[in-house]
Amino acid sequence: MAIKKIESINVIPFIDIMLVLLAIVLTTATFIAKGAIKVDLPKASAASAKVEKPHDITLTKEGKLYLDGVATTNEKLLSSLGTVSKETTIIINGDAKMNYEYFVSTIDTLTNAGYTHLSISTKKE
């Protein structure tokens, strides 16, 4: 009984598998590029409200305070926030050379008013 030596490898099944994988990658890549899959959500009476966009507070090195680009003061900050939910994220952008007292005063005002989602913006070195 003679054993036949295999001199080549059949690559057709390998190519078929690679084409299927390529189709899967291209299909999922379109969802990733767009960022979301669009769906038409059904309506319900107990649906949760949309999450509010975060608000930006900017503190300059001179001690000036801005809420979403509009000048305000520490005393008027809470009235400037108006009816913003206490669960809304507030991002604090403080100048690196500002007086620490301005920062502490702003944080104190916000925490005493019940705002709990405070974030400090920094720059990576």
What 3-state DSSP class applies to 103? Answer: helix
What 3-state DSSP class applies to 45? Answer: coil
For the chain, domain boundaries: 55-120
Is-contact 26 19, C-beta < 8 A? no
Fold for 55-120, please state it.
Nucleotidyltransferase; domain 5 (3.30.420)
Each residue's pLDDT tens digit, 60-106: 888 888 888 888 888 888 888 877 888 888 888 888 888 888 888 88
pTM, 2 dp: 0.55
Each residue's pLDDT tens digit, 40-58: 666 767 655 556 688 888 8
At a CB cut-off of 8 Å and minimum separation 6, what does 92 contact? Answer: 57, 59, 103, 106, 107, 118, 119, 120, 121
